[in-house]
Amino acid sequence: MFRVRTSLARQISLGLVIYGVLLSAALFAHGLLVNEQVERMVWQARLDAEMDAIFSRERHDPGYSWDGGGTFDLFRFHASRPAPADVPAEVAVLSPGLHDEIRFEGREWVALVRDDSNGVRHALALDIEGFEAMEWVLLRPVIGSSIMAMLLLSVAVFFGARLLTLPLRSMASRIAALAPDRRGQRVDLPAYASTELKVIADALNDYLARNDRFVERERAFIDSASHELRTPLTVIRGAVQVARTASGESEEVRYQLRRIARTTAEMEELVAMLLVLARDPMRIRDTAESIQLDEIVESIASDHQVLCEGRALRLVIGPLVPCTVVAPEAVVRVAVGNLLRNAIEHSDQGSIHVLLGADAVMEIRDPGHGMTPEEISALYARIARGEDRGGGIGLALIARLSEHLGWQLDIQPAPGGRGTRVCLDFSAALNT
């Protein structure tokens, strides 16, 4: 499943912003809760004081008539009997205690309810409509300032996270600048980098140092191997030259000697080319020359006819459209030869077709067992990892050579579902 990855700076910013929002929400909710409790305490104290004052005046002056002044309203009724009509239904159902946010007569009230020893219920209500409106007026600036603080926090967190991850991005750019063909490279860190990044950089530099030593050993091995290969090839080439100067051989023997000489020369070129590929792949382009691709393909295919002898297998050459490309001839011969040899080795019977179009695309169709799309995908994966070991120098090496020279190697199931169709596209090397 595809997953979109986000930057570390964005993750830090998002995490801190979410934390800030949750913290602000918690503080705001706590503030509202505290405000509500303080508000109830204020109402409780005020209503208690007012009701105590009413009862005290009534005890000392039986004819006292209390007036709430439009702010207070006092209701009295027997708790065990139905309330009189002048008592609002919202008040009649209240139990003893403090009750706020009660609405009747189109306004909001807070009420204190008490029962006396005679069973009479006293409900003193305070009109708080104006207080609630004022509370929201005072609350709006608080909400606005909280939102503004969150916006400022988000901006600060965003730039702060980018500043914190700057050393990491700088290190990533230095790693991206590492060239695989250069030795002695190291990743340097800015002075303000953290100790964690230094640990990573030290580990990477240690790996680069070990890789340099490994490459040096590989190059030393390649030098030794190339020398060991050149020596027997030189001996074979010398022996063939001597044999060709001798008289009395039949035409068949002279033909075979010419094939040995040509193959030896190709092997010497291949060894030199592999050595260049191991040391400096870009130098392969320097050996390119103008060659007649159709003639080379025909020559290679003719040389491989012998591999089909004694088998129910036929090599069909052509049509080969004449075209000229600029490429290293030794590399072309190695690539075409290996692809053709793979087709022959993986076919039991039938015809193998070798074709070349005017667009410099060589095509080999074999009647082999064929491959499913899944098997071809697995083959490409092995080639990408350099794990192909199945054909001569290997498809992995052909793919690597093609990559350096701008060619395209394509492997598909043959039309009809049987066999394999391999295309090697030389169009990038066309001599226009």
User: 114 has which bridge partners?
Assistant: 122
pTM score: 0.45
Residue 3, helix vs strand vs coil: coil
Amino acid 113: pLDDT: 92
Token duo for residue 234: 């030189």
Q: Are 123 and 111 in contact (CB under 8 A)?
A: yes
| CATH code given to domain 285-429 | 3.30.565.10
Domain boundaries, the chain: 8-161, 181-279, 285-429
DSSP state of 287: G
- When computed from its CA atoms, the radius of gyration of the chain, rounded to whole angstroms, is 47
Closest CA to 10 of 134, 124, 160: 160
Which token pair is 11? 């993750």
- Cβ atoms of 317 and 301 within 8 Å: the answer is yes
Say which CATH topology domain 181-279 has: Helix Hairpins (1.10.287)
Task: Name residues whose C-beta falls within 8 Å of residue 370's C-beta, 6 or more positions apart in sequence.
Answer: 413, 414, 417, 418, 419, 420
The DSSP bridge partners found for residue 408 are 425
> Quick check: 368 and 348 in contact, CB under 8 A?
yes
CB 188 within 8 A of CB 174: yes
CB 98 within 8 A of CB 111: yes
Q: What is the DSSP letter of 83?
A: P
Q: How far apart are CA 196 and CA 167, in angstroms?
A: 11
Q: What is the DSSP string of 64-78?
A: -----TTTEEEEEEE
Q: Minimal CA–CA distance to 303: which of 271, 334, 326?
A: 334
Residue with tokens 């030290």: 202
Q: How far is CA 206 from CA 180, 184, 215, 218, 315, in A?
A: 16, 11, 14, 18, 54
pLDDT single digits (tens) 232-262? 777 777 777 777 676 556 777 777 777 777 7
Q: Which of 156, 154, 205 is nearest to 184 (CA)?
A: 205
3-state secondary structure of 121: strand
Question: Residues 317, 308: contact at Cβ < 8 Å?
Answer: no
Answer yes or no: is pLDDT of 112 > 80.
Answer: yes
Residue 295: both structure tokens together: 């003639």
If one compares 369 and 155, the residue with the highest pLDDT of the two is: 155
Contact 287, 330 (CB under 8 A): yes
Q: Is the pLDDT of residue 126 over 70?
A: yes
Instruction: Please give the structure tokens belonging to residue 201.
Output: 């950089």
Question: Are 74 and 54 a contacting pair, CB within 8 Å?
Answer: yes
CA-to-CA separations, 168 to 17, 43, 171, in angstroms, rounded: 21, 59, 5
Span 396-405, pLDDT tens digits: 677 777 777 8
User: In this predicted structure, what is the pLDDT of residue 1?
Assistant: 46
- Detail the DSSP E strand segments found in 34-87: 72-78
Q: What is the dihedral sign for C-alpha 30, 33, 39, 42?
A: negative
Residue count (the chain):
432
DSSP secondary-structure letter at 347? Answer: -
Spatial contact of 418 and 367, defined as CB atoms under 8 Å apart: yes
Please state the rounded mean pLDDT for residues 25-44: 85
What is the pLDDT at residue 338? 79
pLDDT of residue 411: 80
Instruction: Report the amino acid identity of residue 183.
Output: R
> 30, 338, 8: which is closest to 169 by C-alpha?
8
Confidence of residue 392 (pLDDT cuts 50, 70, 90): very low
DSSP lists the bridge partners of residue 354 as 317, 364
pLDDT > 70 fraction of the chain, expressed in percent and rounded: 81
The CA distances from residue 336 to 75, 167, 281, 287, 362, in Å, are: 109, 49, 19, 18, 9
Structure-token pair, residue 375: 């098997």
Evaluate if residue 114 carries a pLDDT over 60.
Answer: yes
Could you read off the pLDDT of 184-197 as tens digits, one per residue? 788 887 777 778 88
